[in-house]
Amino acid sequence: MFAERIGYIVWFSDFKAARGLDKYGSLHYLSRKMNYAVLYMDADGSEETVRHLQRLPFVKKVERSYRGEIKTEYEKNVPDKTRFYGL
């Protein structure tokens, strides 16, 4: 139903020019202080888009975001010790 999306972190040197990154995908966040942008795009054709991004003069580095692959379901193996510390 929905296309697979991949996130990329794009490090840039010019904030004004970085606002134009939205034509390469969904621009999620721009950091003015740390000079990076979070960009989401479709998985098919993302390699070609990354190559185009790396050729831009204001782009320093493009990294893949592994946020979608991090385990977010936690299990509690430690017993609850709150009853021992009660008044």
CA triple 23-13-10, angle to 5 deg = 50
User: Which domain does 49 fall in, by range?
Assistant: 5-69
Please check whether residue 18 lies inside any domain of the structure: yes
CB neighbour class for 32 (10 Å; exposed up to 12, middle 13-18, buried from 19): exposed
Strands (E), 34-78: 36-42, 59-64
Q: Are 3 and 44 in contact (CB under 8 A)?
A: yes
Share of the chain above pLDDT 70, in %: 97
Please check whether residue 38 lies inside any domain of the structure: yes
Q: What is the CATH number of the domain that holds 26?
A: 3.30.70.80
Please check whether residue 20 lies inside any domain of the structure: yes
Q: What is the pLDDT of residue 49?
A: 95
Model confidence, pTM: 0.77
Count of domains for the chain: 1
Q: Are 81 and 29 in contact (CB under 8 A)?
A: no
Express each pLDDT in 15-45 by its tens digit: 999 999 999 999 999 999 999 999 999 999 9
How many other C-beta atoms lie within 10 A of the C-beta of residue 30?
Answer: 18
Please check whether residue 22 lies inside any domain of the structure: yes
Give 48 or 79, the one with higher predicted confidence: 48
Please check whether residue 74 lies inside any domain of the structure: no
- For residue 62, pLDDT over 80 is answered with yes
Q: What is the pLDDT of residue 41?
A: 94
Mean pLDDT of the chain: 89
